[in-house]
C-alpha cells in the first residue's frame, strides 16, 4: 500500500483534487477523517442535485462549477471590457452566476431557450441556491422573446457573448451552430469583444468540435480553442472567438472560483491525434446541416437511462418534475457519501453499485461452484455485500492492509448501511494483513478470487500487478475457478488497462476482458482470468442487482480505439517494473 501522505506524492487524477476542493467549499458533512500508517482517509457526505432533460443528465451540483467556471472566466479574462454581456441558453443561471461576479458588468441580456428547464429553475429553490439568485440581480434582463426575434430587435453590441447550447444532435439544434447564426452573433459583438461557445467534446466527437471551429471562422471570426475535463461528463470543449486575432498569454483568473487551477494554459493544448481530425472538419450552414450527421441522438442514451433508474430505485427526493413529451424535466436530490484516500476518490454512493456489481457478478455467475471466496482489498465491504447474495457461498476471506478501512466498513453507520453490514456476516473472516503475506500462508484453494486493490500509482502498488503476484494468486485458484481484477480505465488509461491484462496472461491463465461505465470514474475495466478457457460469456446474473445488463456479453465488447492500444501494452514483472510509470504518464496525458 502507498504511504503517500508521508512524501506528499499523489496517485490520483488531478480532477479528483479539483472536485474535492469544490465539495469542501460547499455544503458538506465530514463523517470520518483520519490518517492511517498507509494513507489519509476522508469520508464526506454531500447533497447532489441533478437536472435531467428527456432522461439525459444536463448538470449535477457535484461538478457544475467546473464546467461553468471553465465556460465563463477565460472569455472574461481575455476581454478588455465586459460592461454588456449576452448569454444564450444556460436556462438554470449558472453561467449567469459566474458572469455577475465581475463588478464592471452593468447589463446582462439573458436569452434562455423556450422550454421546461427555465420553469424548473425558477420554481426550484435548490437551483436558486446553486445559481446564487442570479435571476433576481437588477443587472439582468430576461428576454422573453425567442432568439430570432431578439436578433431582429437588439441594436446595441455586447462585450462578451456566452453561448451555452445543447450539442447539435438534431437538425433544430444544429441550426444554432451555423455560419448564419455566428454571423448574427458577430454583428452583436463589439470590435474588441469576445464570444465563447460550448462546442461538444474534442475527445469523444473531434470532428464535430473542429467543425464548430471551422463554422465560426466562416463567419469571419478568429478562434482560440480549449478543453477541460469535467468528472461526470469527461472532456468538454470550448471555442473563444473575436474579430481580432486571439492569444492566451498566461493570464491569471483572480475572480473567486472553486475549481480553476492557477494556470489554465494546458487547457489550450491538444494531442496530435486530436489535432489530426481538423482536416475532416466541415462548415455547417442552414442550407447544409452537417453537424447532426456526426452525432447520434443521445436523448435516450442507455447508460444515462440505466443510471437514472438506479438513482430512482434508491433514496432520493424529486424537486421538480414536469413538461411534455420531448421536453420533460426532472430535478432530483440525492445524498452522496464519498470516500477519498490520499485525496483520490474511491467510491461514491451514487454509483458504487455499478462498479461493484460489475466487479463481482460476471465471475461468480460463470463458476460452477462458489463455496470459498478470497477478496484482496475491498475493505469498504461492498464487494462482500455482492458476494453474500449467493446462497452457496460458505466462506469469504477479506484481506485489507489498512485497519482504518475495516473500521469504517464495520463501524461508521453510513458505510455499514451501504454495505449492509457485510463485515458482520458469520461467513466472513477479516484479515488486516498484506495480501502478499496472506497468500503465502494459504493452502486451501478458492473458487473465486476478487482483486480490488488501489490503482498502481506507485512502486509498492505496482508490485501487486505483476506476473509473479498474479501467479501466486493463480496457485490459490481451483481448477474451475475464476480470478477477477479491477484494472483501471480502458478509456482514459488504456495502456495501464491492457498491461494489467497482459500481466495476467503472463501467468499462463486464459484472459477475458470487459468494462462498464461508472459515472464517477468514466469507463472502467476488469479482467477475468482462469486456468480453463471461458467458453460462454452470455450468462445471466441470477441474484438481485440494479445495474447489470440482462446479457453480460455486452460488457465484453470494446471500441477499436481502445483495442488498438493492446499490442503496445507492457508485461509488468518484478524485474521490469514499469506499470507505475505508465500510470503516471497516462494521468498526465
Element (H, E) at 218: helix 206-218
Question: Is 452 a known active-site residue?
Answer: yes
Q: Is the dihedral of CA 96, 97, 100, 101 positive or negative?
A: negative
* All cell numbers assigned to 138: 437588477
Please state, in angstroms and rounded to a whole number, the distance separating the CA atoms of residues 97 and 59: 15
State the alpha helices, DSSP H only, in 372-427: 382-387, 403-411, 413-418
CB contact set of 576 (below 8 Å; sequence gap of 6+)? 570
Crossing angle (nearest 10°) for helices 579-588 and 494-505? 160
How many other C-beta atoms can be found within 10 angstroms of the C-beta atom of residue 350?
A: 24
Separation between Cα atoms, residue 457 and residue 9, nearest integer Å: 10
Q: Strands 234-242 and 189-198, how do they pair? A: antiparallel
Are 198 and 211 in contact by the 8 Å Cβ rule? The answer is no
Q: Do residues 583 and 513 make contact, with C-beta atoms less than 8 angstroms apart? A: no
Q: Is 154 helix (H, G, I), strand (E, B) or coil?
A: coil
- Grid-cell match 439568485, residue found: 133
- Report the residue count for the chain: 589
Catalytic residue among 452, 455, 517, 523: 452
Q: Where are the beta strands (DSSP E) in 231-371?
A: 234-242, 317-322, 329-341, 344-348
For 234-272, give one letter per residue: b (16+ CB within 10 A) or e: ebbbbbbbbbeebebeeeebeeebebbeeebeebeebee
Question: How crowded is the C-beta side of 540, counted as CA atoms within 13 Å?
Answer: 3
Three-state DSSP string of 525-586: EEEEEECCCCCCCCCCCCCCCCCCCCCHHHHHCCCHHHHCCHHHCCCCECCECCHHHHHHHH
DSSP 243: S
H/E segment holding residue 48: strand 40-53
Strands, E, within 393-544: which ranges?
395-400, 428-432, 446-452, 477-486, 510-518, 522-530
> What is the set of active-site residues?
452
Amino acid at each position: 500500500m502507498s504511504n503517500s501522505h508521508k512524501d506528499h506524492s499523489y496517485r490520483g487524477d488531478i480532477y479528483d483534487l479539483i472536485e474535492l476542493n469544490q465539495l469542501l467549499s460547499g455544503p458538506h458533512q465530514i463523517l470520518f477523517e483520519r490518517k492511517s500508517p498507509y494513507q489519509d482517509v476522508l469520508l464526506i457526505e454531500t447533497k447532489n442535485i441533478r437536472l435531467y432533460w428527456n432522461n439525459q443528465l444536463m448538470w449535477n451540483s457535484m461538478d457544475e462549477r467546473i464546467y461553468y467556471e471553465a465556460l465563463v472566466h477565460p472569455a472574461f479574462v481575455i476581454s478588455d471590457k465586459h460592461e454588456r454581456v449576452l448569454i444564450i441558453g444556460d436556462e438554470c443561471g449558472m453561467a449567469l452566476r459566474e458572469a455577475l461576479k465581475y463588478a464592471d458588468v452593468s447589463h446582462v441580456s439573458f436569452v434562455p431557450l423556450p422550454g421546461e428547464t427555465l420553469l424548473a429553475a425558477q420554481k426550484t429553490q435548490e437551483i436558486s441556491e446553486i445559481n446564487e439568485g442570479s435571476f433576481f440581480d437588477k443587472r439582468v434582463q430576461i428576454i422573453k422573446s425567442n432568439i430570432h426575434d431578439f436578433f431582429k430587435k437588439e441594436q446595441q453590441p455586447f462585450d462578451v457573448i456566452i453561448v451555452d447550447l445543447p450539442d447539435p444532435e438534431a437538425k433544430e439544434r444544429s441550426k444554432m451552430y451555423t455560419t448564419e447564426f455566428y454571423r448574427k452573433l458577430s454583428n452583436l459583438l463589439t470590435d474588441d469583444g469576445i464570444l465563447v461557445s460550448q462546442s461538444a467534446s474534442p475527445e469523444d466527437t473531434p470532428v464535430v468540435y473542429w467543425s464548430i471551429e471551422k463554422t465560426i471562422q466562416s463567419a469571419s471570426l478568429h478562434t482560440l480553442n480549449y478543453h477541460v475535463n469535467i468528472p461526470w461528463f469527461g472532456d468538454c470543449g470550448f471555442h473563444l472567438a473575436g474579430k481580432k486575432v486571439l492569444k492566451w498569454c498566461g493570464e491569471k483568473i483572480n475572480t473567486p472560483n472553486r475549481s480553476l487551477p492557477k494556470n489554465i494554459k494546458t487547457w489550450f493544448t491538444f494531442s496530435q491525434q486530436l489535432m489530426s481530425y481538423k482536416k475532416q472538419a466541415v462548415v455547417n450552414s442552414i442550407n447544409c446541416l452537417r453537424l447532426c450527421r456526426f452525432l447520434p441522438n443521445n436523448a435516450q442514451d442507455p447508460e444515462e437511462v440505466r443510471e437514472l433508474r438506479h438513482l430512482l430505485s434508491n433514496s432520493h427526493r424529486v424537486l421538480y418534475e414536469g413538461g411534455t413529451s420531448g421536453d420533460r424535466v426532472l430535478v432530483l436530490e440525492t445524498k452522496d457519501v464519498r470516500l477519498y484516500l490520499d485525496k483520490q476518490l474511491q467510491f461514491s454512493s451514487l454509483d458504487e453499485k455499478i462498479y461493484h456489481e460489475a466487479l463481482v457478478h460476471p465471475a461468480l455467475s460463470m463458476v460452477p461452484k462458489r463455496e470459498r471466496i478470497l477478496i484482496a482489498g475491498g475493505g469498504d465491504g461492498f464487494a462482500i455485500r455482492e458476494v453474500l447474495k449467493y446462497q452457496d457461498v460458505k466462506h469469504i476471506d477479506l484481506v485489507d492492509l489498512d485497519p482504518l478501512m475495516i473500521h469504517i466498513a464495520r463501524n461508521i453507520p453510513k458505510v455499514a448501511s451501504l454495505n449492509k453490514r457485510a463485515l458482520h456476516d458469520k461467513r466472513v473472516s477479516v484479515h488486516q494483513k498484506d495480501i502478499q503475506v496472506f497468500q503465502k500462508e494459504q493452502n486451501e484453494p478458492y473458487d473465486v478470487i476478487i482483486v480490488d486493490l488501489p490503482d498502481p500509482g506507485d512502486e509498492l502498488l505496482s508490485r501487486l500487478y505483476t506476473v509473479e503476484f498474479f501467479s501466486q494468486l493463480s496457485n490459490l485458484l481451483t481448477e474451475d475457478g475464476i480470478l477477477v481484477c479491477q484494472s483501471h480505465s480502458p478509456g482514459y488509461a488504456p495502456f495501464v488497462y491492457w498491461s494489467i491484462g497482459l500481466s495476467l496472461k503472463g501467468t499462463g491463465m486464459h484472459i477475458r476482458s470487459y468494462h462498464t461505465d461508472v459515472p464517477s470514474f468514466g469507463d472502467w475495466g476488469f479482467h477475468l482470468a482462469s486456468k480453463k478457457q471461458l467458453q460462454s460469456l452470455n450468462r445471466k446474473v441470477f441474484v438481485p442487482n440494479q445495474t447489470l445488463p440482462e446479457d453480460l456479453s455486452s460488457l465484453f465488447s470494446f471500441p477499436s480505439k481502445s483495442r488498438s492500444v493492446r499490442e503496445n501494452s507492457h508485461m509488468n514483472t518484478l524485474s521490469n517494473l514499469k506499470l507505475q510509470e505508465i500510470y503516471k504518464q497516462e494521468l498526465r496525458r
